[in-house]
């Protein structure tokens, strides 16, 4: 454990406001759990790998707050992020006589966070939940903002709800056990914030990418905290993604098509988003929204991070078919988050020919 003090970031959403605690060792710190809603039953939802590392530690910490603490292990991987898996949570809660005060703790990566959040939104028509993300991607993106969902065979995150957590507890020490591939995948969501919103942060990432890849503690602490601050500010402005929040989906329309087309779990979410950002940057330049030089800068950073920059073996027709199911599409017309200036982005329609060209540029 390093000597970095925890940082607190507030997501201001009126009655739904909550705080994000970022720092090393905060999983075991009683301050992380102060003022959470009381209940007789708490349930930690996790997977076997994370349970072996942190499940008992979180159970011990929660034992002083709750009379009964369940540990619910779900199968691991994006391919299990579906309604059938979510029902396992409901089964355990009902057998344990869970009620409207029951509190869920999502201990794991984005899959666990999304499925637990959606289960919390549904159980008893809504119970409290807390995000305890253990992957870099979840810490900087999916644990913040209340987007919860499960996948459908026809598309990623198609069944879900906006449902805010009561707190997000980001223990940076969990990144020490993260496989290199997962760390790199998380960098995709960190990189995203620069081109769409914060030029200074983009420049900082370019200067500090090697330190991030080597897991320098102070560098990771700053990156995670700053990413949470940027996302919090955007969510505060547009909680339900009716406007500006959509810019956080930069690269995601292409990325989700890659994930679905390959089969959930073949590529990590961050890997697919990284490749999606490459295609979206090229599409932005092809439409004249940014210069070729600006696009090349984004693509070079994604490549330096070790993320995929080549479209996998999915036909262009199949990708177009899947992208028409994207939540930004309107009446079947494709719409994308594209870069349209320095640290600026917006949702634009795009002609099929331009989309095909951008995909083919990265075959």
* Residues identified as active-site: 125, 147, 189, 231, 241, 245, 249, 252, 256, 269
CB-based contact 334:355 (threshold 8 Å): yes
Continuous segment of H or E residues that includes residue 331: none
- Contacts (Cβ under 8 Å, ≥6 apart) of 207: none
CB-based contact 298:233 (threshold 8 Å): no
What Cα–Cα distance (Å) separates residue 351 from each residue in 22, 141, 271, 284, 348? 42, 30, 25, 12, 10
Place of tokens 């607190």: 8
Distance CA 162, CA 45 (A): 19
What Cα–Cα distance (Å) separates residue 70 from each residue in 131, 220, 296, 316? 16, 31, 49, 46
- Contacts (Cβ under 8 Å, ≥6 apart) of 292: 285
Distance CA 277, CA 191 (A): 10
- Which residue, among 203, 286, 280, 292, has the nearest Cα to 247 in the 3D structure? 280
């Amino acid at each position: 454990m390093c000597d970095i003090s925890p940082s607190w970031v507030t997501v201001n959403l009126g009655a739904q406001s909550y705080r994000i605690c970022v720092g090393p060792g905060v999983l075991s710190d009683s301050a992380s759990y102060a003022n959470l809603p009381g209940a007789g039953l708490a349930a930690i939802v996790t997977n076997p790998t994370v349970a072996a590392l942190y499940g008992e530690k979180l159970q011990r910490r929660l034992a002083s707050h709750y009379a009964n603490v369940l540990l619910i292990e779900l199968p691991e991987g994006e391919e299990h992020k579906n309604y059938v898996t979510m029902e396992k949570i409901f089964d355990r809660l009902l057998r344990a006589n869970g009620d409207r005060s029951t509190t869920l703790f999502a201990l794991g990566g984005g899959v666990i966070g999304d499925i637990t959040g959606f289960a919390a939104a549904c159980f008893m028509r809504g119970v409290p939940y807390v995000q305890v993300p253990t992957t870099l991607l979840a810490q900087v993106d999916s644990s913040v903002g209340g987007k919860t969902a499960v996948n459908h065979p026809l598309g990623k995150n198609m069944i879900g709800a906006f449902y805010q957590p009561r707190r997000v507890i980001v223990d940076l020490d969990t990144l020490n056990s993260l496989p290199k591939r997962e760390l790199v995948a998380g960098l995709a969501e960190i990189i995203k914030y620069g081109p769409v919103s914060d030029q200074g942060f983009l420049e900082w990432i370019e200067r500090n990418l090697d330190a991030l890849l080597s897991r320098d503690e102070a560098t990771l602490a700053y990156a995670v905290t700053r990413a949470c601050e940027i996302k919090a500010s955007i969510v505060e402005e547009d909680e339900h993604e009716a406007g500006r929040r959509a810019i956080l989906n930069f690269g995601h329309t292409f990325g989700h098509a890659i994930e679905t087309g390959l089969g959930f779990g073949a590529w990590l979410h961050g890997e697919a988003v990284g490749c999606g950002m490459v295609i979206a940057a090229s599409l932005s330049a092809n439409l004249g929204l940014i210069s070729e030089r600006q696009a090349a800068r984004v693509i070079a950073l994604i490549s330096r991070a070790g993320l995929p920059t080549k479209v996998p073996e999915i036909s262009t027709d199949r990708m177009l078919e899947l992208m028409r199911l994207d939540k930004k599409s309107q009446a079947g017309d494709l719409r994308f988050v594209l870069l349209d200036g320095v640290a600026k982005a917006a949702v634009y329609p795009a002609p099929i020919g331009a989309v095909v060209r951008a995909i083919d540029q990265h075959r």
